[in-house]
Amino acid sequence: MSNISRMLFWLGHAAFYIKGDGYTVFIDPFKIGPEVREKADLILVTHAHSDHASRDDILRVMKPDAKVICAPGCFADGDFRNMEVIRPGGRSEFKTAGISAVPAYNVVKERLSAHPKSKNWVGYVVDMNGCRIYHAGDTDFIEEMKGMRGISASLLPVGGTFTMDVDEAMSAARAIKAEFAVPMHYKMLLGKAGAAEAEEKFKKGLPNALVMKEVQEPVYGF
């Protein structure tokens, strides 16, 4: 399974960490339990909603000298000693990793107020250890996804309501053509039966589907 199984770990909801060579990158840490002992050298935050921009969870996982990269509006100046605000199209470097911010927004009429394009919220493409990992953030299937190339793993929200649902996420996965398509951001929205149904549909609909298990006790009550 290439390097993905040794470097990418799902913490639940939209939270992941990626292990590099001597450093660890967290994305959108949320509801992090005490059994998660990994600590972050870099934290990436996609947007300002509390289930993604959780200051308490960042403080729980970050090393004292960790860097926080976030979209506009996530935190106030001075919240973190080493913080960089990034917008779609921005790029940053951290040790041997390249961090690219890509657009994340809603286009479906009923969702437009949830993640407006005007907010300049983001997803990330993280280039490290020879892999390109795309965390889509909270988004619909947007035009920019069709131009993505060389993605090792695409982490896609499938819960509907505020983001793509399973069918839309599968369309996005087919456009991105990553080595692996990973569903996220659905258990809190869909409940136990709905989450199981979404996982099964995702696996049946995509030959490159990779349904991950959380590395901590599930935070959803099941």
Kindly list the structural domains of the chain, giving each domain's residue range(s) and its CATH number in brackets, ordered by start.
4-205 (3.60.15.10)
pLDDT in tens, 76-116: 999 999 999 999 999 999 999 999 999 999 999 999 999 99
Residue 134: closest CA among 96, 165, 173, 107: 173
Q: Where are the beta strands (DSSP E) in 90-203?
A: 91-94, 97-103, 122-128, 131-135, 153-157, 180-184
- Using CA atoms, how far residue 123 sits from 26, 45, 69, 203, in Å, is 13, 9, 12, 23
Global confidence as pTM = 0.97
- Phi and psi, residue 126, nearest 5°: -105, 115
Instruction: For the chain, give the percent of residues with pLDDT over 70.
Output: 99
